[in-house]
Structure 1
């Protein structure tokens, strides 16, 4: 049995980072960090299909990372816990410290940049 399988806290932490591992979900979170957005706003800003954005929003909502606020027939999404932004800021700092080593890591490195993200996009293009 691996350490993560035997430790509840490690499994939860792994699930959190797995939920944020998708480049599109990370981009959505960064846009929501700037304020409430509707699906239509995110599709326009990210250049993704409505179904793709809705699926990622559902994942983030199910994880408890974002919340939806209905207004009439529309839903406005926002960050559920401001601490999420602190986590992303800390990750950006760590990425600055490691340079390209994370990207080049054979076990976890990027094969190609996620949709709408290039190297250093987390801090450069989607910074708060």
Structure 2
């Protein structure tokens, strides 16, 4: 079942659970920053920590989450692990999101629930 259904069938909440999980995995600012950074090429945790200004434990935790979700993969080189995006389709999703944000003038940032100043009660 796809997220976008034909008019004859209606997706149930249960049908949408995988998509909801995908968007939740990208909803954390640190995870999204990691994904955006990995979109430009593979990196080790130390590089992600430096590039994003996040604590090593934060980066490690979020990379593990993204790896568990199948969005990030690791490549061993000696004792080092180089992380990269596991699926090229993720770049298409990020590009589509940027296009949508540009088209709406980033209006979602004004959303009282999920916007910049909103309190995300769903998480």
TM range (shorter): 0.7 to 0.9
* Alignment of structure 1 residues 75-86 onto 2, 5 Å: 75-86=81-92
> What secondary structure, in the 3-state scheme, does the structure 2 residue paired with 1:21 have?
coil
Tell me which residue corresponds to 2:116. 110
What TM-score, normalized to structure 2? 0.83
Runs of 5+ consecutive residues of structure 1 not aligned to the other structure: 113-128
Count of paired positions: 107
Among 73, 76, 88, which residue is 2:94 paired with?
88
Greater relative contact order (Cα < 8 A, sep 6+)? 1
Q: Give the aligned CA root-mean-square deviation in angstroms.
A: 1.2
Deviation at 1:109, TM superposition (A): 1.1
Tell me which residue corresponds to 2:56. 50
* Alignment of structure 1 residues 16-27 onto 2, 5 Å: 16-27=22-33
**Inter-partner Cα distance in structure 1 for 2:67 and 2:113:** 29
Larger Rg: 2
Is 1:98 aligned to residue 108 of structure 2? Answer: no
Deviation at 1:101, TM superposition (A): 1.6
Deviation at 1:110, TM superposition (A): 1.8
**Inter-partner Cα distance in structure 2 for 1:61 and 1:100:** 29
Moved beyond 6 Å, runs of 4+: none
